[in-house]
Amino acid sequence: MKVLIVEHNEDLAKIWSRFLERQGLEVDVTTSQKSAIQRMRFTDYDALVLEIVLPDGGAIAISDYATYRFPDIPIITVTSGSFFSDGSIFELMPNARGIMRTPFRVDDLAALLEHCVPDKSGSTKQPIGKVG
């Protein structure tokens, strides 16, 4: 599974990406709208982890582009605020599959990704980090 994390806090994004990589995922990290869209232009992703409030704005634009480029991509939104606690994010981002409030346990993020990303091989889905 290939995941793009868009999070303005680079240290936090590195923690998430390192954990997910140890679970066997391929992870790219970016911190802005411009670099996220640039990465999606040239790389295929199976999931997007997206901070809702970015300093340069653009979370909705990133979501729109991701949905255009990868129509079925699951988007896991992340926020430290309570602005979207009413579930309105699911109306703004049709491919949103979950919202996580920071701080959270990184293994919860891995479990949500595992749950939301379909198995493309058609075989029985193996848990993230499990072989055999």
The reply to whether 127 falls in a domain is: no
Cis peptide before 74 (omega within 30 of 0): no
Residues 53-97 have pLDDT tens digits of 888 888 999 999 999 999 999 999 998 776 656 666 777 888 899
**Which pLDDT belongs to residue 84?**
58
The CATH number of residue 56's host domain is 3.40.50.2300
The reply to whether 80 falls in a domain is: yes
* CA gap 60, 50 in Å, rounded: 10
The reply to whether 37 falls in a domain is: yes
CA 78 to chain centre: 8
- The amino acid at residue 23 is Q
Cβ atoms of 74 and 47 closer than 8 Å: yes
The reply to whether 122 falls in a domain is: no
* CA gap 37, 59 in Å, rounded: 11
Which domain, by its residues, includes 13? Answer: 2-116
The reply to whether 31 falls in a domain is: yes
What's the average model confidence in pLDDT over 95-108? 89
Number of domain units in the chain: 1
What's the average model confidence in pLDDT over 94-112? 89
pLDDT higher than 90, residue 103: no
pTM: 0.85
The reply to whether 60 falls in a domain is: yes
* CA gap 108, 114 in Å, rounded: 10
